[in-house]
Chain A
């Protein structure tokens, strides 16, 4: 425990929030993908940092590297070929940014306050765990925000990946010491889901010529 440097973990976590913000807000889908890539690398870094106390996490880190940092960005890169600009969402950039910042702050504060529900304040990993939990929850909410308010289908996928990241982060910060964490982490990789979703989105693009989800209401029985 003492081997993990709390400052390192703090920095990595906050960087995660930044990358999530970028991934959600970037109008250019490829830029969003790059932001996501950054976040994936951060997660792997976090996992490596935690693996100091639990070597099983190294396996997870390796898998995460492959799936989150290589496969998913590659799929997204392929899917956004030729259609890089996102379909304009309902909420414009400025408003959305302000909203997001407010949401982030609120979420962070809220989780920090109630982190006592999940983490035993006496344990040694308490401080780190609280921060990580707050970050995880924030990333989760950001992912949800992306899914709910972004009109482009690819952004939905990115939002899904953000959700997954948030869940993984919370998992690893709550129980870094047990072997099953790694197992759970590896099992809940959403790469297959992402592949399938992108396949469907390809079909949508074929039919409608764009990935605008509002067009989906034209599909009838």
Chain B
């Protein structure tokens, strides 16, 4: 049996995505275009999964150079290493689930729009994400990054009739391009110092740059971090996220949340651990990123609590959860030289959270999309009681919500537990990380509150007026992705050893094998659980199998107690204090859930009651980039384009006048020159 080389697998994946995109341009029926796109994406995903699996087992692969631009020293080289293969496993998974879901979703919700505005862009976005995570040349990295931004922008801008969505798309465009510009500047600075765009040459260049101009190195790292953190949605650069993600169709938002935001984390890991891996730099920047991560956790989740639009809630939670990932990665960078084992654990925790978040956040977007599909609304105050009619969606949503809140035994708990362990162990040495750990734990509860509100408002309780038109659950092709993703959430929580082994290998790759001792020395040799060791002492243990078994036994005991007297059961109507009310009149609106808490925090968190209130106010203004940076840029751009568009009035004379003036100017110049 002929073995396929990794290079061929990668190229065939690109080819399949591109061919699928081209084929779907000719599509007219939503369903047919959808299923063909899914077929192409599935084939490409299989190729990528085989590639990722092979890389995990065998180690990294380099490919030859394509499309060489010798004049500027750039050529398209690919390098698939274990870090890329983690993303290569996750991204096609999420993308495929979202694509399968979109077949029926787009057919129903956006039936008046054209299929060729959606599927080609979706497939090209997946292809460009694959390019971003596999290329090893800075210039082509930027090219793929731009491609990914443009294709996702086309998806955000899908619903062109709605004015707010068009503004959101414009804001997305500006924010991501400012970030990309920062990244480009950083890349160019490195290029001017090293003369090459290859990843491999960057660290030696950085070493040289540190000796000559260390301030410049920090500026370059800052630019990279700004670029990647904007994409990830870190506070304070993530203001565009809650505008842009709800504007896109739900499966597209799911794909964004599951794959695109993660690329920011991928970029930061590469920057911190590969390009700029020098002692002072990783410590300083690890601390900065961990602090910003903790801030994102705090601000993002608390703001999410105040929202009533389901997709905006989820988008603010993305900001919060990205904070967790950044906290893990930042802690890892901070402790890279001092306590390498702790750095390994923190890095693994951050990456595990990346994988978990991809699964449950995209699942949540799909759930909200399913509710939108059936009721036509995203407003949590208008939905209610859909659980009886949509049991699969409700079960998936409950699993996803419990995962994101970090309730054992679901996937979120394992990664959050590892993050707590690493921050608290780090906090024993540097007390600041204790604060981060506390914030992380507290916000885990706030996440829980927020998702209880979401689940309760959408699925539980009495049927709302919007839900009266719902007949049943969404079509099977929309339920399958939800089921698969929930199975992933459960699996990642109940059997953490599989992802941990993989991520351990990744950490070895990224941190260097001299730093990391051995899987068993770090995570214990118990196949069903984790026994965390730092140095020689056991600092934490978690065995989901045992915990689940214990919980099951206790629940069975409780159930036995409840049935012990064989009490009869009877159905009645709800009791409204003895009065007769229509269900919808007394239905509790989502807005009222934890209302006093929201009001309390509205007073506290924008102006912390510490002596330096004025500074905080100013910082608040500075950090609200929307008002002073993105907003004015967007408005100026609009005014400029409006002005320019008046030159195209549709009257031929104006155009001819422009031509004549142009020719006259040219002739005048020539005349003067020839004189």
**The residue from B651, B656, B657 contacting A217, defined by CB atoms under 8 A apart:** B651
Interface centre among B652, B657, B660 (most CB of A within 10 A): B652
**Complex: A151 Cα to B656 Cα, angstroms:** 13
**Complex: A216 Cα to B654 Cα, angstroms:** 12
Smallest CB separation, A141 vs chain B (Å): 10
Given contacts A156-B652, A216-B651, 19 further A-B contacts (CB under 8 A): A144-B660, A147-B653, A147-B656, A148-B653, A148-B656, A148-B657, A148-B660, A149-B653, A151-B653, A213-B651, A213-B652, A213-B653, A214-B651, A216-B652, A217-B649, A217-B650, A217-B651, A218-B650, A219-B650
Interface size on B, residues (CB 8 A): 8
Interface centre among A151, A217, A219 (most CB of B within 10 A): A217
The 3 residue pairs across chains A and B that have the minimum distance between CB atoms = A217-B650, A217-B651, A217-B649
CB-based nearest A residue for B659: A148
Smallest CB separation, B341 vs chain A (Å): 63
**Complex: A216 Cα to B656 Cα, angstroms:** 14
Specify which chain A residues have a CB less than 8 angstroms from the CB of B651 in the assembled complex: 213-214, 216-217
Smallest CB separation, A171 vs chain B (Å): 19
| Contact A216–B650 (Cβ < 8 Å) | yes
Cβ < 8 Å to A, chain B residues 58-82: none
Task: Write out, one digit per residue, whether chain A residues 197-219 have a CB within 8 A of any chain B CB (1) or not (0).
Answer: 00000000000000001101111
Smallest CB separation, A1 vs chain B (Å): 30
Smallest CB separation, A28 vs chain B (Å): 21
**Complex: A148 Cα to B664 Cα, angstroms:** 14
* Interchain residue pairs with CB less than 8 A apart (8): A144-B660, A147-B653, A148-B653, A148-B657, A213-B651, A216-B651, A217-B649, A217-B651
Task: Write out, one digit per residue, whether chain B residues 628-661 have a CB within 8 A of any chain A CB (1) or not (0).
Answer: 0000000000000000000001111100110010
Specify which chain A residues have a CB less than 8 angstroms from the CB of B652 in the assembled complex: 156, 213, 216
CB-based nearest A residue for B649: A217
Specify which chain A residues have a CB less than 8 angstroms from the CB of B650 in the assembled complex: 216-219
**Complex: A179 Cα to B586 Cα, angstroms:** 98
**Complex: A4 Cα to B660 Cα, angstroms:** 36
Specify which chain B residues have a CB less than 8 angstroms from the CB of A148 in the assembled complex: 653, 656-657, 660
Specify which chain B residues have a CB less than 8 angstroms from the CB of A147 in the assembled complex: 653, 656
**Complex: A139 Cα to B657 Cα, angstroms:** 18
**Complex: A119 Cα to B103 Cα, angstroms:** 73
Interface size on A, residues (CB 8 A): 12
Smallest CB separation, A102 vs chain B (Å): 17
Smallest CB separation, A139 vs chain B (Å): 16
CB-based nearest A residue for B651: A217
Interface residues of chain A, those whose CB is within 8 Å of chain B, are 144, 147-149, 151, 156, 213-214, 216-219
**Complex: A144 Cα to B653 Cα, angstroms:** 11
Specify which chain A residues have a CB less than 8 angstroms from the CB of B653 in the assembled complex: 147-149, 151, 213
**Complex: A203 Cα to B653 Cα, angstroms:** 19
**Complex: A213 Cα to B652 Cα, angstroms:** 7
Smallest CB separation, B11 vs chain A (Å): 39
Specify which chain B residues have a CB less than 8 angstroms from the CB of A217 in the assembled complex: 649-651
Cβ < 8 Å to A, chain B residues 394-436: none
Specify which chain A residues have a CB less than 8 angstroms from the CB of B656 in the assembled complex: 147-148
**Complex: A176 Cα to B656 Cα, angstroms:** 32
Specify which chain B residues have a CB less than 8 angstroms from the CB of A149 in the assembled complex: 653
**Complex: A156 Cα to B651 Cα, angstroms:** 13
Smallest CB separation, A138 vs chain B (Å): 16
Smallest CB separation, A10 vs chain B (Å): 28
CB-based nearest A residue for B653: A148
Specify which chain B residues have a CB less than 8 angstroms from the CB of A219 in the assembled complex: 650
Smallest CB separation, A107 vs chain B (Å): 13
**Complex: A141 Cα to B299 Cα, angstroms:** 68
Specify which chain B residues have a CB less than 8 angstroms from the CB of A144 in the assembled complex: 660
CB-based nearest B residue for A217: B650
**Complex: A32 Cα to B329 Cα, angstroms:** 81
CB-based nearest A residue for B657: A148
**Complex: A216 Cα to B528 Cα, angstroms:** 75
Smallest CB separation, A150 vs chain B (Å): 8
Smallest CB separation, B244 vs chain A (Å): 26
**Complex: A144 Cα to B651 Cα, angstroms:** 16
Task: Write out, one digit per residue, whether chain B residues 250-264 have a CB within 8 A of any chain A CB (1) or not (0).
Answer: 000000000000000
**Complex: A97 Cα to B635 Cα, angstroms:** 46
CB-based nearest B residue for A219: B650
**Complex: A216 Cα to B651 Cα, angstroms:** 6
**Complex: A219 Cα to B651 Cα, angstroms:** 10
Smallest CB separation, A34 vs chain B (Å): 25
Interface centre among A147, A156, A218, A219 (most CB of B within 10 A): A147
Smallest CB separation, A162 vs chain B (Å): 14
Specify which chain A residues have a CB less than 8 angstroms from the CB of B657 in the assembled complex: 148
CB-based nearest A residue for B648: A217
Specify which chain B residues have a CB less than 8 angstroms from the CB of A216 in the assembled complex: 650-652
Smallest CB separation, B160 vs chain A (Å): 13
**Complex: A206 Cα to B311 Cα, angstroms:** 51
Smallest CB separation, A2 vs chain B (Å): 35
CB-based nearest B residue for A150: B653
Smallest CB separation, B310 vs chain A (Å): 35
Smallest CB separation, A56 vs chain B (Å): 31
CB-based nearest B residue for A89: B653
Interface centre among B651, B653, B656 (most CB of A within 10 A): B653
**Complex: A147 Cα to B653 Cα, angstroms:** 7
Task: Write out, one digit per residue, whether chain B residues 574-586 have a CB within 8 A of any chain A CB (1) or not (0).
Answer: 0000000000000
Smallest CB separation, A160 vs chain B (Å): 11
Smallest CB separation, A106 vs chain B (Å): 14
Specify which chain B residues have a CB less than 8 angstroms from the CB of A213 in the assembled complex: 651-653
CB-based nearest B residue for A145: B660
Smallest CB separation, B75 vs chain A (Å): 41
Specify which chain B residues have a CB less than 8 angstroms from the CB of A151 in the assembled complex: 653
Task: Write out, one digit per residue, whether chain B residues 97-133 have a CB within 8 A of any chain A CB (1) or not (0).
Answer: 0000000000000000000000000000000000000
CB-based nearest B residue for A159: B656
**Complex: A32 Cα to B104 Cα, angstroms:** 64
**Complex: A153 Cα to B652 Cα, angstroms:** 10
CB-based nearest B residue for A156: B652
Smallest CB separation, A12 vs chain B (Å): 28
Smallest CB separation, A215 vs chain B (Å): 9
CB-based nearest B residue for A220: B650
**Complex: A144 Cα to B661 Cα, angstroms:** 12
Smallest CB separation, B468 vs chain A (Å): 41
Task: Write out, one digit per residue, whether chain B residues 304-317 have a CB within 8 A of any chain A CB (1) or not (0).
Answer: 00000000000000
Smallest CB separation, B652 vs chain A (Å): 5
**Complex: A214 Cα to B651 Cα, angstroms:** 6
Specify which chain A residues have a CB less than 8 angstroms from the CB of B660 in the assembled complex: 144, 148
Smallest CB separation, B235 vs chain A (Å): 41
CB-based nearest B residue for A144: B660
**Complex: A151 Cα to B651 Cα, angstroms:** 10
Specify which chain A residues have a CB less than 8 angstroms from the CB of B649 in the assembled complex: 217
Smallest CB separation, A115 vs chain B (Å): 15
Smallest CB separation, A220 vs chain B (Å): 8
**Complex: A216 Cα to B655 Cα, angstroms:** 12
**Complex: A113 Cα to B595 Cα, angstroms:** 87
